[in-house]
């Protein structure tokens, strides 16, 4: 015998000729729709739709609100419910929970709750329709087209290029508007992060230093004269006296590449460029200080710094940001061989400082040292380097935020502001002389690449090491080891490499471009 709730539910379904559950006849040729609903302000409130969802409900004579009211408890934030047969143009309609309306920046969380809720909700709805092989999806922008687009683009991404069975490719567009500049901006932001994810996720035998450089060059080609790419042969690296970078690369059969990107977004030649430097270890075995085999496959993404930096510049070019940006990416593998660095070796960096290499698995700071020295030759407005540098950063912050070490309050404030907008947070870490003394106390050289106490404050001593190669007034080191991958922490990213913090770098550059 049917319980009363089920009787009401089935009556509503028959009345409106609707279906609640999956239909195997739904094909990829049909369209789907994602709509938003807010939590009720009180128990006496009715369904609180977004503007687009309310308009849709009117076109179907209130069927959507009635179905929502009888199909279960009110939708919570990030949850979804799917209905079939409500509208002839949209056989599949997913309603997603946006949480409470009117929320904004949360001081405790250091992000905009509304934007994050939209990203998460839209991604859930789009993925649900993708799983049903619905290839064309219209999305309720929920009052923030950029966040909705980011949620759709980021949520639908999955690296399946090497699989026989691939996910259905979904085309998402804003519902009820053919032209939405905020949506287009969000698509570019999402595409930029997805490019970084694609590079980081690809196996190391598919993304070598040379392939990485070629891929970025191809991505920048559509922007013509505004961007130039220089792939430098090893002889150029030697002529620049980059002994630290070369010492890491010599253990591998793959030739090193020093990638140099020039984006000129303004004709003002007097404007100093923003310098972005990314660590580009396309596979990190640890060298002679070999890593454990468990989890070593993830070290294909040890070029995450280079991936996010280069992807941010591609995005800046797509957005036509009025700013000059130079990107530098030393690219190589860290492999054990008869030519590889040995613990105790001493190498010389571009600025003449000698480095005792006590642990060959602390190689990222070696290649960045030379790149940072070279960065100063462009008289930059600011220098930001990005690197999956230390496991200690993962221990310190986990995947909640990127650790930022900086000598500039001005730079920190702008990075922090950008991260609140994107939801891809940053957190400031210390650059005390306490850590500097640990890396400058070396038996054989000017510096030691791991410091006196290798297990204590590892992320901080690594930052102190990099600081020895910086003279610029505005410099920041972003350690992204903790945010390199995603399990389920960020709801609008699938499990895998995250591509973080590409959008924060783009938002930072956009903010800098808007300043006088």
Give the residue numbers annotated as catalytic, written as ranges: 291, 365
How far is 460 from 431, CA to CA, in rounded Å? 7
Instruction: Tell me the two tokens of residue 326.
Output: 């130079």
Alpha helices in 157-228 (DSSP H): 181-201, 209-220
* Rounded CA Rg of the chain: 25
How far is 6 from 28, CA to CA, in rounded Å? 31
How far is 97 from 292, CA to CA, in rounded Å? 43
Beta strand 354-357 with 447-448: parallel, antiparallel or unpaired? parallel
Alpha helices in 204-342 (DSSP H): 209-220, 234-239, 243-249, 304-319
What is the CB neighbour count within 10 angstroms for residue 37?
Answer: 29
DSSP 147-167: HHHHHHHHHH----TT-SS-P
Instruction: Tell me the two tokens of residue 454.
Output: 């290798």
How far is 72 from 74, CA to CA, in rounded Å? 7
- Closest C-alpha to 462, from 395, 392, 413: 392
Give the 3-state secondary structure percentages of the chain, helix then strand then coil, rounded to 5. Answer: 40, 20, 40
How far is 158 from 160, CA to CA, in rounded Å? 6
How far is 96 from 53, CA to CA, in rounded Å? 10
SS3 state of residue 380: coil
SS3 state of residue 95: strand
How far is 454 from 456, CA to CA, in rounded Å? 6
DSSP 19-77: B-S--TT--TTSEEEEEEEEPPSSTT---EE-HHHHHHHHHTTTHHHHHHHHSSSPPPT
How far is 427 from 415, CA to CA, in rounded Å? 10
Kindly report the length of the chain. Answer: 516
Q: E strands along 101-157, which residues?
A: 105-106, 111-112, 136-139
């Amino acid at each position: 015998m049917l319980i009363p709730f089920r009787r009401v539910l089935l009556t509503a379904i028959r009345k409106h000729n609707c279906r609640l559950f999956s239909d195997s006849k739904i094909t990829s040729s049909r369209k789907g729709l994602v709509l938003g609903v807010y939590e009720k302000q009180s128990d006496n409130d009715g369904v609180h739709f977004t503007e687009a969802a309310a308009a849709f409900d009117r076109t179907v004579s209130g069927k959507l609100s009635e179905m929502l009211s009888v199909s279960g408890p009110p939708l919570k934030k990030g949850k979804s419910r799917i209905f079939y047969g409500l509208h002839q143009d949209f056989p599949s309609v997913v309603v997603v929970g946006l949480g409470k309306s009117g929320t904004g920046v949360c001081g405790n969380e250091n992000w905009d709750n509304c934007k994050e809720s939209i990203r998460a909700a839209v991604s859930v709805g789009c993925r649900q329709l993708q799983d049903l092989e619905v290839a064309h999806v219209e999305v309720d922008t929920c009052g923030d087209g950029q966040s909705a687009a980011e949620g759709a683009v980021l949520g639908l991404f999955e690296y399946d290029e090497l699989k026989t069975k691939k996910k259905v490719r979904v085309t998402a567009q804003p519902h009820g508007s053919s032209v939405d500049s905020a949506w287009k901006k969000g698509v570019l932001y999402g595409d930029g992060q997805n490019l970084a994810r694609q590079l980081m996720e690809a196996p190391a035998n598919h993304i070598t230093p040379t392939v990485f450089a070629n891929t970025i060059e191809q991505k920048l080609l559509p922007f013509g004269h505004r961007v130039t790419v220089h792939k430098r042969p090893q002889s150029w690296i030697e002529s620049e006296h980059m002994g630290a970078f070369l010492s890491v690369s010599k253990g591998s059969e793959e030739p090193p590449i020093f990638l140099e990107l020039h984006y000129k977004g303004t004709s003002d030649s007097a404007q100093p460029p923003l310098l972005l430097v990314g660590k580009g270890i396309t596979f990190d075995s640890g060298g002679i200080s070999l890593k454990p085999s468990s989890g070593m496959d993830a070290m294909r993404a040890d070029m995450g710094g280079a991936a996010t930096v280069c992807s941010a510049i591609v995005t800046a070019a797509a957005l036509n940001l009025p700013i000059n940006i130079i990107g530098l990416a030393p690219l190589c593998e860290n492999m054990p061989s008869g030519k590889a660095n040995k613990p105790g070796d001493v190498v010389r960096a571009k600025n003449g400082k000698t480095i005792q290499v006590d642990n060959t698995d602390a190689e990222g700071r070696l290649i960045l040292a030379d790149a940072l020295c070279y960065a100063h030759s462009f008289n930059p407005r600011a220098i930001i380097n990005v690197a999956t540098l230390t496991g200690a950063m993962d221990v310190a912050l986990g995947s909640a935020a990127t650790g930022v070490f900086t000598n500039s309050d001005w730079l920190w404030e702008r990075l922090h502001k950008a991260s609140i907008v994107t939801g891809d947070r940053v957190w400031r870490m210390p650059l005390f002389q306490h850590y500097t003394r640990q890396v400058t106390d070396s038996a054989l050289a000017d510096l030691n690449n791991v410091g006196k106490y290798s297990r204590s404050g590892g992320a901080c001593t690594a930052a102190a090491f990099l600081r020895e190669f910086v003279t610029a007034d505005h410099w920041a080191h972003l350690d992204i080891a903790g945010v390199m991958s995603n399990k389920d922490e960020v709801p609008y990213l699938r499990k895998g490499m995250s591509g973080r913090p590409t959008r924060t770098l783009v938002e930072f550059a956009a903010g800098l471009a808007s300043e006088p």
